[in-house]
């Protein structure tokens, strides 16, 4: 993962680069077409960022991922 991107995400979320790298590895090794895996990833992200994710928002995120409506260039988010 790009070190500059990790620095931006770390600054914005207060989540360490090590935690981000471990999470990225977990996601990379996961089947992101499996809804239960996606829900687990969302819950993990919610926990490490101390941000609550409502059931409605979780469903919207999963719907976007399952229907391939996520931009390919994540750098644009930060």
**pLDDT tens figures, 22-66:** 888 888 888 888 999 999 989 988 998 888 999 999 999 999 888
**pLDDT tens figures, 43-54:** 988 998 888 999
Q: pTM for the complete prediction?
A: 0.69
> Are 78 and 12 in contact, with CB atoms under 8 Å apart?
yes
> Are 35 and 66 in contact, with CB atoms under 8 Å apart?
yes
């Amino acid at each position: 993962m790009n070190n500059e991107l990790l620095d931006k995400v770390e600054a914005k979320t207060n989540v360490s680069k090590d935690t981000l790298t471990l999470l990225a590895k977990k996601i990379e090794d996961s089947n992101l077409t499996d809804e239960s895996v996606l829900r687990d990833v969302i819950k993990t992200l919610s926990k490490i960022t101390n941000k609550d994710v409502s059931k409605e928002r979780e469903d919207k995120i999963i719907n976007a991922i399952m229907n391939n409506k996520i931009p390919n260039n994540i750098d644009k988010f930060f």
